[in-house]
Amino acid sequence: MSRYITSKMAIVGFMGGLANDLTNTLATVPQSEEQKRAIWEQQAIKRMGEPEDVTGSVLFLTNDDASFMTGQAIVVDGGQYRIG
């Protein structure tokens, strides 16, 4: 179990890092437009993510529709994950 948990947490941490890199927030302000474009051109949806892009997933996870879910990492990254 420890190997599985370690690998799963690595993915969760990696996705958190991508969220900082790929979502149009204060964390991405220092990046040049060229740096931002180089990142999102590699993903399926060709634009920077906006904080509002995760709203639907958050609402779902806080709703009774997700009441039987446990231990899941929902990836909302515009298709970046498929590349890595």
Q: Tell me whether residue 81 is one of the annotated catalytic residues.
A: no
- Distance, CA of 18 to CA of 64 (rounded, Å): 28
Please name which of 52, 57, 56, 53 lies closest in space to residue 73, comparing C-alpha atoms: 57
C-alpha 29/C-alpha 58 separation (Å) is: 24
Query: Please, what is the Cα angle at 16 between 64 and 81, to 5 degrees?
Result: 90
Q: Which of 4, 32, 68, 71 is catalytic?
A: 4
Catalytic residue positions?
Answer: 4
